[in-house]
Every structure is written in structure tokens, then in C-alpha cells.
Chains A and B, each alone.
Chain A
Amino acid sequence: MNLADIIKSLDLTVLTTPQDFDQIEPSGGYASDLLSCVMSGAPHRGIWVTLQAHNNIIAVAALLDLSAVIITEGAEPDPATVEKANDEGITLLSTPLSTYAVVGRLWEMGLHLAA
């Protein structure tokens, strides 16, 4: 399953400059709003689901080489955060769904824990 399938299936809004999403295959997923937990738990090239939308999520995503960050509950990052994400090549996606709903859908699609 690639990122393009996920974006389409969950009807996610792409906040950053679109990349070749059908070439990006997330390795797994992680959900938390505590950055240190993400630091220790998120798999390399995984997807991170959070309702944090401030600019510190970009550094975390960049350091972990995450495939994408899904920002839930309609939280909106400010333009500077989106710009920083573009600079670092991080994909930011947003959705009005809750974290719980997003994780459920991803799991149903077959995105489980990283091998």
C-alpha cells in the first residue's frame, strides 16, 4: 500500500508540496501527541498520526525520516510550519477525523506495525 492509496481512501488534505505519493510505501504507523514517545516509538519511514500541529513536529518527522504526518481533528499548522515541512521534504496531511478513526482506517487498510 502506498501513500497515494491512503490519501485517497481517507480523503486527506495534502498541506505540503505534492510528491510522487504512489512511490512512497509507509513501513508502519504510530500515534501519539507526546513527541518523545514518537521519538522512541515511530518506525523508520512510518506514518505518524497526531493532533499536534505546531512547528516542532517537523523536526521530529525529519529526524525519524517519517513518510508522512497525519494531523487529525482539523488542527491547522501555520504557514511557517508548512514551509519548514517543505524545506525538510516532510509530507503533512490533514483530516477532520479523530486520531482513533484514522488509526482504525489505516489498520483496516493493512498498515499494521512495522516489520
Chain B
Amino acid sequence: MSDTQKNLPISDKAVESVTRSEELAYELKIAEVMTASPRTIQACETMHEVMVTFRTSHISGAPVLDQDNLVGVVSMEDLIRAMANSDLDAAVRNYMTARIYTVKGSDPVIEALKQFVNTHVGRLPVVDENGKLIGILTKGDITRGLLKALQHDYAHEELIRYRASHLFEDIVSDRTSLILRYNIAKGDFTHGGSASSNIKRALLRLGASPQIARRCGIAIYEAEMNLIIHTTNGGVIRVEIEPHQISIDIYDDGPGIKDINLAMQPGYSTASEEIRELGFGAGMGLVNIARCVDQMKLESVWGKGTRLKIKIFLQKNETVGERYAGNKEKS
């Protein structure tokens, strides 16, 4: 975490985990966070026995049973009252809290949180569908359960990121690269943008900066939509990721571009009226690509097909960033 992030009152990450912990309160079941098979006390035992049990088991409260039936909860507070009255020989039933609130193990944690707020009790016995005691729940159990679940989520994403970002370090070769291929179908507007979204996500996982991922995303999106809109049979996007550069190859088998210089002009488009109604065909696609990449080469033969090769450099001093670059290599 950088220093600037540390100084922010609430970071994006913190906001994310607040919402996630709220979500978890609905997702996690009480049975997953409770203390299962808790130490129990029989109603006929004495308060002195409770004191010994609390001390030896290191607990501060326990459910009270009469045979197998849940009849109350006894806590440290009840024990203190008995001690203050010098009444440790009294039966537990005289000091326990008899009016008991319970929660079901199959209910989400949020139900228990509501009970804690409404009843102000410190612990809730957890019962099964038949009302039989299966555990005990404190607020501490909930906090621990939520933290554990959050950590699990976090560890999972961290692991994916870690594995991806170490790909290039872990594999030893003279030149390592990762190649991603996407087949883009002609007219498939339903999936328009999914290849570029997937590539952007892959780059972020590999540890690319958000700016680089965004520039690649925009350039590839435009190329992807060009394949969907303008080709005869669709085409292929091939992305080669290396530690120092990203090379993207987009090719199709027709119909090709009649006049490349004209196609490169902002606002020039051959898109049909239907396509324009969808918001495409602004004549800015190739211009946008040129703006986002460090190198661009467009080749096309009318009747044969088109091949667009673009490169984004990952070393800071080589890359131009997102801007209109005037002298791009064209042919």
C-alpha cells in the first residue's frame, strides 16, 4: 500500500470490505461461526459448580439444560450476583436467565446480529430445526467468523494475482511470453467487448499498471468491434505479453480496406445506418487505437483481408501514454 493510500480517510479497498462484510452477514450461516458443542450446565447443579466450570473451561457463560431441554443461560454476571449474596450453594435455576432468546443454526448471521441488538444479551444459544441445542454464539464468534471469511476471499484474489504476476519470474527461458487468442465472430454484438474486457483483466492480474491496462482495453475494444462490424467472416485477436511489451495482432480474411489513409481519418466510416444507430461507426475507431498505442501498423488488401499490428511498451521511458500521436508508422 502506498503512502498516499494510507493517508486517505477511507480507501476504495476499505469501502469494498465494508460492503463485503455486510454481504457476508447475509451469506454466512450461524452454524458456520458459532462455537459448536459448547460446555453445558445442568439446572440442578450449584452456582459453586458453575464457578469451577467457568474457571476450568475458561468461559464466561454457558447454556443451562434440564435433562436434554434448554432452559436458560448462566453468565459471569449471574455468578457474581450469587457470590455477592454468599449463595454459591444455590441451584443454577435460581440465578440463570430463564427467558431465553435462541437463534437457528441454519439462519444467516444477520439474524443473530439483529437479536443481539434487540435483546442486549451477551450470548445466544443456537438450536437446530427441532429446538435442540447445537452451539453457542457470542459477538466475538461473529467477528472472528467474518474476519476469517474476508481473509479467505482476500487470500484467494491475492493468490491469483501473485501467481499471475510471478509468471515471468518463475519460468526461466531466454524469452518468455504469454499468448492469448480470441476468435471474434462477425456480427456478434452480444459479446462485443468481452475479449477486450478479458484481456484488460488478465493484464491487471499480471501486474500491469491500470493506465497500461486501460490503453490496451480501449485499443483492443475498437479492433474487436471492427472485426464484429466490418469483416466477412470475423477474425482473430492475438495478444502476446512479454515483460517489456504487449504485442497485439488483429487479422481477418476480408473484405479489406480500400483506402487506408481515408480509413485513418477521424470521422470517416463505412458503417451502415443500422450499425450507426447502435452508436458505432463514428469513424473514430482507428484514431482511438492510434492514440492508445506506441506502435501501429495497418496493412490491408482489398478482397483479401486486413492485419493490424500494434505494440504497447511497458518500460516507462519508451511508452508515449494515452494521447494523439502524430507520426505513427503506417503502410
Contact = CB atoms under 8 A, between A and B. Distances in A.
Interface stretch (B28-36, B44-52, B185-193, B299-307): B185-193
B284 A34 contact: yes
A37 B284 contact: yes
Interface string A26-37: 000000011111
Contacts of A19: 19
Contact of B197 (A36, A50, A88): A88
Main secondary structure of the interface of A (DSSP, over half): helix
B123 interface: no
Nearest to B283: A36
B221 A63 contact: yes
A20 B15 contact: yes
A39 interface: yes
A86 interface: no
B279 interface: yes
Interface residues of B, number: 30
A105 interface: no
Interface in A54-88: 54-60, 62-65, 88
Interface in A87-112: 88
Nearest to A62: B197
A55 B190 contact: yes
A98 B10 CA distance: 35
Nearest to B19: A20
**Most chain-A CB neighbours within 10 Å: which of B190, B193, B221?**
B193
A65 B12 CA distance: 13
Contacts of B279: 33-35, 50, 52, 54, 56-57
**Most chain-B CB neighbours within 10 Å: which of A20, A52, A57, A62?**
A62
Contacts of A62: 193, 197
Given A34-B284, A60-B193, A65-B210, 11 more contacts: A19-B19, A36-B288, A39-B222, A39-B288, A40-B218, A40-B284, A56-B279, A59-B192, A62-B193, A64-B214, A64-B218
